[in-house]
Amino acid sequence: MIVVTRLNGSRFAVNPDLLERIQEHPDTVLLMVNGARYVVREPMDDVIGLIVGFRARVVAAASTSASSASTHLPAEPPPRMV
C-alpha cells in the first residue's frame, strides 16, 4: 500500500496494484481499475516514486524470504530406500 493525501488533508492508503492511471490537470487524480477516482495533493512524480518504493520493498522482502527458505532446504535429496 502507498499512503497519499486528499485535498482536505486526510491521508489514506491505496493498493498500487489496483491503480490504472495517474493524471495531472493540475491536481493529481488516481484512476483505479474499478472506476474510482481519488484527487490527491501529491504531484504525479511523487506518487510514481511511492509506487517504485513499494515495489522495491516487495521485491526485497521476496528475495529475503526466498534466500532464508533456501537455507532450510537440504542440499541434496535424502537417499531413496530400496
The answer to whether the pTM exceeds 0.85 is no
Nearest to 6 by CA among 30, 34, 31: 30
pLDDT at 9: 98
Is residue 29 within 8 Å of residue 41, measured between CB atoms?
Answer: no
Model confidence pLDDT, tens digit, residues 27-48: 999 999 999 999 999 999 999 9
Q: Per-residue confidence at 69, pLDDT binned at 50, 70, 90?
A: low
What is residue 74's three-state secondary structure? coil
Does 15 score more than 90 pLDDT? yes
pLDDT at 76: 67
* 43, containing H or E segment: none
Could you give the C-alpha distances from 5 to 13, 40, 72, 74, in angstroms and in order?
9, 5, 42, 48
pLDDT at 81: 73
